[in-house]
């Protein structure tokens, strides 16, 4: 699924790296605990979260994610936006709740991978 398709499905606003909207992503995860993302997630291209702190961007960088969707209209700080720009990470902002946003993307073909153990 293209990031631009995710944007449309979620009615999201693009905050960073609009030039990367044509990139394809094949999996996603929804999580507010970055320690769980680091411990259990692998090969996820998109992170959906309601957590707003710089650790989200750092975690996405470490996991080679290309897009972060902030749900519930959570607005990242300027510091977070700059970190994402530096890393080429697309930030989308959606008013959907985490459960709903994940469900929309999943039902349109974007899946998660098995949990890394």
Q: How far is 44 from 39, CA to CA, in rounded Å? A: 13
Q: Can you say whether the dihedral through the CA atoms of 9, 7, 116, 80 is positive or negative?
A: negative
- Residue 99 is encoded by which pair of tokens? 């459960």
Q: Can you say whether the dihedral through the CA atoms of 1, 32, 42, 112 is positive or negative?
A: negative
State the pLDDT at residue 57: 95
Q: What is the dihedral of CA 107, 57, 93, 22, to 10 degrees?
A: -60
- Name the residue with tokens 């680091």: 38
pTM confidence score: 0.91
Which domains are delineated in the chain?
3-107 (3.40.1390.20)
State the pLDDT at residue 114: 60
pLDDT tens across the length of the chain (117 residues):
999 999 999 999 999 999 999 999 988 889 888 887 787 777 768 999 999 999 999 999 988 899 999 999 999 999 999 999 999 999 999 999 999 999 999 999 988 766 555
């Amino acid at each position: 699924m293209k990031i631009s398709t995710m944007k449309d499905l979620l009615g999201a606003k693009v905050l960073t790296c609009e030039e990367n909207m044509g990139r394809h992503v094949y999996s996603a995860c929804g999580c507010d605990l970055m320690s769980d993302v680091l411990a259990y997630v692998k090969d996820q291209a998109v992170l959906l979260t309601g957590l707003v702190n710089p650790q989200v961007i750092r975690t996405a960088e470490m996991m080679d994610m290309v897009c972060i969707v902030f749900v519930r209209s959570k607005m990242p700080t300027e510091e977070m936006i700059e970190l994402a720009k530096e890393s080429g990470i697309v930030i989308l902002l959606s008013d959907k709740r985490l459960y709903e946003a994940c469900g929309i993307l999943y039902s349109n073909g974007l899946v998660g991978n098995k949990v890394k153990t």
